């Protein structure tokens, strides 16, 4: 695979990405830009990044960059991704890829037209345990899948200055935490045919707690997310012959237990990735996959294709709309 040269937009979650790329891949981050130039220069010095650009435009047009990682607040993703694509750069966009399904379609369509790889940074798809789950289901070990249950919720004290509580920054539970269980269910069940939603709106007008039932042609997903409730952050996949249980946090490197029989009493295997649990959580594996796809000439991830990215955003669109409409009645 090519030793890609990355430009990073944003220095928040970007820190984990830079470290993972440096420690676990042949790729390198060579440039960075962010709103606060003083903090960005300190960030670059700490992480040994050679170039600090004064603007997104300068970074995406840097001939020394092959790919761009976008790690800014959600509402900025679309314009920055489109700028990178227009400059001919491959793009990895932090999740959620955008603020809506319509914006996700615009980004992915632009990538296809430009002939560059566009990926949403759902790094959990590239963990070894994700491959085990896919294979167990594909081989029929747990029979026909009927239900997926997953949740991700935590308590965030209200602070109007926090991104989580700021509507203008894409705050709320669904876009920040809910995308994990929704994306997990999507990877197993496929696109929804029906979506039922119950939720609460918190201070400043963001979705604070949301529960979803998603029906698909394959089965149903029971999903929850919150920024006011501490949820267990586990996931299960239930089938006609057994099930899969993923320990907390289900979206990071953790133990996967596969069972068969009544009441799941016949354990047939436990898969664990404890080493990854203490480093980057799989971000380095995602960067490696990205470089492989570039080398193969792919325009989308085979493990997380564009249509699925859009479908997940559609679920979030429907859920947010339902919560806000119920609150306004």
Active-site positions? 95
What span, in angstroms and rounded, lies between the C-alpha atoms of 17 and 11? Answer: 10
What span, in angstroms and rounded, lies between the C-alpha atoms of 22 and 8? Answer: 13
Q: Are the CB atoms for 151 and 233 separated by under 8 Å?
A: yes
**What are 23's two structure tokens?**
């420690």
What span, in angstroms and rounded, lies between the C-alpha atoms of 150 and 200? Answer: 19
Neighbour count for residue 98 (Cβ, 10 Å): 27
Q: Is the bond into 52 cis (omega within 30 degrees of 0)? A: no
How many angstroms from the chain centroid is the CA of residue 87? 24
What span, in angstroms and rounded, lies between the C-alpha atoms of 119 and 116? Answer: 10
Strand ranges for 127-241 from DSSP E: 145-153, 192-201, 207-216, 220-226, 235-239
**What are 244's two structure tokens?**
């899969």
The sign of the torsion formed by the CA atoms of 310, 312, 313, 314 equals positive
Would you mind telling me the total number of residues written for the chain in this entry?
329
What span, in angstroms and rounded, lies between the C-alpha atoms of 191 and 219? Answer: 10
């Amino acid at each position: 695979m090519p030793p890609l040269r990355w430009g990073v937009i944003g220095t928040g979650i970007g820190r984990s990405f830079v470290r993972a790329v440096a420690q676990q891949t042949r790729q390198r981050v060579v440039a960075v830009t962010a709103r606060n130039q003083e903090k960005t220069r300190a960030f670059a010095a700490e992480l040994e990044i050679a170039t600090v650009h004064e603007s997104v435009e300068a970074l995406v047009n840097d001939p020394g960059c092959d790919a761009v990682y976008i790690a800014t607040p959600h509402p900025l993703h679309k314009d920055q991704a489109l700028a990178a694509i227009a400059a001919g750069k491959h793009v990895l966009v932090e999740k959620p890829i955008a603020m809506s399904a319509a914006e996700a379609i615009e980004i992915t369509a632009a990538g296809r037209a430009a002939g560059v790889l566009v990926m949403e940074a759902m790094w959990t798809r590239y963990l070894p345990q994700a491959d085990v789950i896919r294979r167990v289901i594909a081989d029929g070990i747990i029979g026909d899948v009927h239900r997926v249950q997953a949740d991700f919720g935590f308590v965030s004290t209200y602070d109007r200055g926090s991104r989580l509580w700021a509507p203008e920054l894409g705050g709320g539970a669904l876009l920040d935490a809910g995308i994990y269980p929704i994306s997990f269910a999507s990877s197993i069940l496929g696109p929804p045919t029906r979506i039922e939603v119950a939720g609460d709106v918190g201070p400043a007008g963001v979705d604070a707690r949301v529960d979803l039932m998603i029906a698909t042609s394959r089965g149903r997903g029971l999903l929850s997310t919150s920024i006011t409730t501490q949820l267990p952050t586990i996931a299960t996949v239930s089938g006609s012959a057994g099930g899969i249980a993923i320990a907390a946090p289900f979206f990071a490197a953790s133990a996967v237990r596969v069972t068969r029989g009544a009441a799941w009493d016949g354990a047939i295997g436990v898969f664990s990735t404890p080493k990854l649990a203490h480093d980057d959580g799989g971000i380095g594996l995602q960067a490696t996959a990205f470089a492989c796809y570039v080398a193969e000439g792919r325009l989308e991830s085979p493990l997380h294709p564009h249509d699925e990215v859009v479908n997940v955003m559609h679920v979030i669109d429907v859920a947010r709309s339902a919560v806000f409409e119920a609150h306004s009645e």
